């Protein structure tokens, strides 16, 4: 993608989300290593834990990561 090889610091990784209840949907996530952009949903599991689901096409074809807040 166009962002491949660029510096990660300052790069926009997540964008375009709309809040729907306790989740954020309809956004995209950038893989800074490959430069590819994927559809994404976010869900705040707790005050310190964010569930990030990136996928291609439908959510069934994707991967989930849990991001932990740094204190």
pLDDT tens for 3-57 read 777 787 888 899 999 999 889 999 999 988 888 899 999 999 998 999 999 999 8
| SS3 state of residue 68 | strand
Q: How confident is the model at residue 71 (pLDDT cuts 50, 70, 90)?
A: confident
pTM: 0.79
DSSP per-residue codes, 4-66: TTS-STT---EE--EEETTEEEEEEEE-TTT--EEEEEEEEEETTEEEEEEESSSTTSEEEEE
């Amino acid at each position: 993608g166009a962002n491949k090889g660029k510096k990660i610091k300052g790069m926009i990784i997540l964008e375009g989300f709309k809040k729907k209840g306790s989740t954020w949907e309809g956004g995209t996530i950038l893989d800074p290593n490959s430069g590819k952009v994927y559809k994404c949903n976010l869900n705040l599991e707790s005050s310190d834990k964010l569930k990030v689901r990136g996928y291609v096409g439908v959510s069934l074809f994707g991967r989930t990561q849990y991001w932990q807040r740094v204190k």
